[in-house]
Amino acid sequence: MKNITIIDYGAGNVKSVKFALERLGAKVKLSSNPEEIKNADKVIFPGVGRAKFAMERLRESGLTELIPNLKQPLLGICLGMQLLCEHSEEDNVDGIGIFPLKVKRFKNDLKVPKIGWNNISDLKGDLFDAINENEYCYFVHSYYVEDSKYSSASSNYGLKYSAALQKDNFYATQFHPEKSGKTGELMLKNFIEL
């Protein structure tokens, strides 16, 4: 079994992700140690909370330099996905820059945070093998990543936005696969098997 390291930098929902992976039989380690992360077979980059605080923690740990240079599959989740982008309107902070995209706040007439189940469509890539169009996933967010050529899934909340991204070995989801029932479980299984 390949080993998966979840980046534990004080801004992630690491326990629920860890338990979801272990239920699928994965060997999982939590770490903020750059050497351990670099040597993992796969890496998961979760996140909850504010962008500025999370980026400060990543910089302090030396992870803003490490993450862009990883060669193994990496999965960013929720804030983890947003931090993989170039810039966020939240706290007006620069991200890691894997995806040359902007993170924007939902418009004022939309209730935020957007919490709950929403369907995903326009599915592309290995992460969504055997997952049907318009399956429902669980979202919690006030900010979104614009729809682009890097989108591997889309969703809609007042506008079409990226529910998932992919570029080279970097994968990301705005929704929480660990809280998205059978669909999320299958997506995590697909990531394990990449």
Our answer to whether residue 137 is catalytic in this structure is no
Q: Which of 135, 137, 141, 176 is catalytic?
A: 176
The answer to whether 103 and 89 have CB atoms below 8 angstroms apart is yes
Q: Is 141 tagged catalytic?
A: no
Distance between CA atoms of residues 177 and 185, nearest Å: 7
CA distances in angstroms from 98 to 12, 27, 30, 68, 122, listed in the order given: 19, 27, 22, 6, 21
User: What's the rounded Cα separation, in Å, for the pair 75 and 84?
Assistant: 10
The one-letter amino acid code at 122 reads: D
Looking at the chain, the number of H-run helices and the number of E-run strands are: 6, 13
Catalytic residue among 78, 85, 90, 137: 78
Other Cβ atoms within 10 Å of 25 Cβ, number: 9
CA 86 to chain centre: 14
Of the candidates 85, 137, 141, 178, the residue annotated as catalytic is 178
Active site residues: 78, 176, 178
